[in-house]
Structure 1
Amino acid sequence: MKRGYITGSFMFLLVCFLLVACNTGPQNSESEENRIAASHPNKVMGPKEQKEPIEFKQEVTISAIGDMLIHNSVYNDAKVDEGYDFKPMLEQVKPYLSDTTISIANQETMIGGVDLGLSSYPSFNSPTEVGDALKWAGVNVVTIANNHTLDRGEEAIQRAIEHWETIDMMYTGAYKNDEDSENIRVLETEEGISVAFLSYTYGTNGIPVPNGKDYLVNLIDQELIASEINEAKELADAVVLSLHFGNEYERLPNQAQKDLVQFVADQGVDVVIGHHPHVLQPMEWVTGESGNKTLVAYSLGNFLSGQDEFYRRIGGIMKFSISKTVKDGETTIDVHTPQFLPTFVKYENWEDFEVLPMFQLTNDQLPNAQQHYEEIKAHMSQWMPDLTFMEGIS
């Protein structure tokens, strides 16, 4: 009996010893809920390392030209056996218009077609082939609100719009009906950046807008402009606004131009492109009331015209970039890297019209060509010292 008691007691003590041994040793202060898979009880758990926020960035480039003002000398020179061909006039500048995501032109004369009668100053009308040449050169947006919009009445406007639609060219500033005018023009790029285009003119050379047909031309009206800018900002990442304003042949903007530009900058417009003076006016950055920066070209001058005064033969191609950055759920739009290419309309005896980059001009084509080129560069950059000038395709 005693031997069995001793054996049973021994077994009892052995079991107790084993139980105590299993519950001794270093204890992890963490609760089981805080353990992760494969964690070790002796491992000190530190805070997780924060990952960098994901950032996406897209970018587009935009080029813009001034007035396509097709005088009779220009379209007479473009006459061929079967219609008109303006392409040779733009051939030397096509590379600078076709290398950007978007190219904008101010088509000053309605392309109503030859059967409506062609331009006889001051009442303009142009062959539809002008639009074909712009499309060929790389332009994909035209602004058509200017003082000559109503020169040949509603029929010319409707015919012009019909042709713009036929060649798939976005137009803004004059419309075919009320519904068309309420459709803010927004170009969605493959790069994922959307750009809205607005266009307005100071007037129509005294020609009244037909009653009930305000859609035929956008007139400068601050209330209208502010409303459409606000709508455009809801629809697009960036807003580019064209203004037909200022005094003809004056090389600096007047106070009314500056005041209107300040107004639209305060509304948050990203870029302002001016035309009507038919000569170049400088570029600059204008600060809006919210601290935003608006890129402004007060006038891009004549790109192609039959005007013969020296400064009226000089225009240019404005180029800039728009980037869109999405970081940590926040979207930022930045207009940057403005550039300019001065151009010159060369012709002899009202023939062989051709738009040429000024940096390529020889003294045979323009006496003292380099001196004139440097003067234009200084003129355009006087309020934007860091403005760069294109002297080749980048």
Structure 2
Amino acid sequence: MSVPAASRRRRLFVGAATGALLLTAAVVGSRAVEHGSPPAGTEASPAPQRTLAPGPARDASSRRTLRLIAAGDVLVHPEVTEQARRDAARGGHPGGLDFAPMFAGVAPAVSGADLALCHLETPLADPAGPFSGYPSFNAPPQVLDGVRSAGFDGCSTASNHTLDQGADGVVRTIRALDAAGLGHTGSARSAAEAGTPRLYDVGGVRIAHLAYSLNFNGLSRPAGKEWLANLIDPPKILAAAHRARAAGADIVVLSLHWGTEYQHLPDADQQSWARQLISSPDVDLILGHHAHAVQPFQRFGDKWVVFGMGNEIARHAEPINDNREGVMARATFTEVAPGHWTVTRMEVLPTWTDLAPNLRLVDLAAALADPTTPADARRTYQVAYDRVLGYVRALGADQSVVPAGVPPRTRSR
């Protein structure tokens, strides 16, 4: 059964989405599943494809192009939920939860893409809770209203916290994503669902999204039900990518929850997996999560590996620069030959999380370009922007990087 077509107007905010750092790439050529199958009518059938509009544009050479944007971890700590509670009260809905104001700062950039992907790190509770944070998350499903309001089309769900609430948590999370009209990949309610590639149709161009995690924080999947959540296993990933191609995917995007927390450089496993996976003709782009710190973007021929985007939204018990910084990756895919798409431009959009007076996600370049940004905030944002740029470049990812739409002193000369 297919998911109804998305009704959101794509490219609504294209003109405002200018605060990006440009990396130019040359074109080279059950109820719960543990109780068995759910009763009829209680779960959606696998829905492999969502249709988005309006679809690809064309470049100066009349080649079709599309833009994909991806973001870091949506990590719903209790403090994030409390901010949503305050925002709901401020908006005239006491007792409710409103996550949209937290995401509003990045909505122009996110909504301006043809396809926007998030990473939902935490399982979701019932709407009335109970809610919990680290180490065993059970987050409000209302967060998806914020995710959707920002313009995201779908999320990866494979993380070290996927099994925090067991199979029931996996089912609740997927139900909530379905109810919100968001695509999902990385966890499943059945073997059939797990084996059905997640495809997004962007104006006739089909993009597959796959997702896997390096571990589940010591928790194990039930024997015989490994399909509940995806674990990194390169041969299995490559087989899944090949199945996605066979299912008609023009582009295959792989999200990996990997790495060492709070390290800005990829560890040995990341580097090994990256080389093995990106070299496959069935994988076009790798997007990394988990470290809660920004990690480099690295180019492999005409492909890219984004090792780590840090946090999109979070509020750790001990806020530090690393866990307040993030980056969104915006890849322009071009059809360089009939049916063959490659990334011809990679842009990075640094982000920062303000903690006071309200918890807010900040598009740093947009804030720096805004003349009404207060001087003290501007200083903080500039330093954070420069740090993020350094992390992105740490492995030499295109040293001819040209920041676009940011203050002159940060431009390459």
TM-score (norm 2): 0.75
Q: Deviations over 1:191-224 (max 9, x none)?
A: x321110000001000111222212100011221
Query: Is residue 305 of structure 2 the alignment partner of residue 296 of structure 1?
Result: yes
Identify if the C-alpha distance between structure 1 residues 145 and 215 changes in structure 2 by more than 3 Å, giving closer, same or farther: same
CA RMSD of aligned residues (A): 1.8
Q: Deviations over 1:339-388 (max 9, x none)?
A: 0111000012xx61100122325542375442332232132124222444
Question: Which letter maps to 2:290?
Answer: H
Q: Paired residue for 2:341?
A: 333
Deviation (angstroms), 1:286: 1.7
Question: Which letter maps to 1:379?
Answer: Y
Identify if the C-alpha distance between structure 1 residues 101 and 368 changes in structure 2 by more than 3 Å, giving closer, same or farther: closer
State which of 303, 324, 344 in structure 2 corresponds to 1:313: 324
Contact 1:88-1:354 within 8 A present in 2 as well: yes
Matches within 5 A, 1:109-124: 109-124=122-137
The answer for unaligned runs of 5 or more in structure 1 is: 1-54, 288-292
Q: Paired residue for 1:365?
A: 377
> Greater RCO between the two (CA within 8 Å, min separation 6)?
2
Query: Is residue 77 of structure 2 the alignment partner of residue 71 of structure 1?
Result: yes
User: Aligned equivalents of 1:243 and 1:71: distance in 2?
Assistant: 21
Deviation (angstroms), 1:126: 1.1
Q: Deviations over 1:32-84 (max 9, x none)?
A: xxxxxxxxxxxxxxxxxxxxxxx973211000000000100110111132421
Matches within 5 A, 1:164-313: 164-190=177-203, 192-234=204-246, 235-268=248-281, 269-287=283-301, 293-307=302-316, 308-313=319-324
Q: Paired residue for 1:376?
A: 388
Question: Which letter maps to 1:299?
Answer: G
Query: Is residue 143 of structure 2 the alignment partner of residue 135 of structure 1?
Result: no
Contact 1:339-1:387 within 8 A present in 2 as well: no
Q: Paired residue for 1:146?
A: 159
User: Aligned equivalents of 2:343 and 2:381: distance in 1?
Assistant: 32
Contact 2:325-2:353 within 8 A present in 1 as well: yes
Contact 1:59-1:324 within 8 A present in 2 as well: yes
Contact 1:104-1:142 within 8 A present in 2 as well: yes
User: Aligned equivalents of 1:181 and 1:371: distance in 2?
Assistant: 43
Question: Which letter maps to 2:360?
Answer: E
The answer for unaligned runs of 5 or more in structure 2 is: 1-60, 89-93, 369-373, 407-413
Report how many aligned residue pairs link the two structures.
327
User: Aligned equivalents of 2:334 and 2:242: distance in 1?
Assistant: 20
User: Aligned equivalents of 1:331 and 1:78: distance in 2?
Assistant: 44
Contact 1:339-1:390 within 8 A present in 2 as well: no
Identify if the C-alpha distance between structure 1 residues 369 and 134 changes in structure 2 by more than 3 Å, giving closer, same or farther: closer
Q: Paired residue for 1:90?
A: 103
Matched residues, percent identical?
Answer: 28
Contact 1:342-1:357 within 8 A present in 2 as well: yes
Deviation (angstroms), 1:165: 1.1
Deviation (angstroms), 1:117: 2.0
Query: Is residue 162 of structure 2 the alignment partner of residue 162 of structure 1?
Result: no
User: Aligned equivalents of 2:293 and 2:334: distance in 1?
Assistant: 30
Identify if the C-alpha distance between structure 1 residues 120 and 325 changes in structure 2 by more than 3 Å, giving closer, same or farther: closer
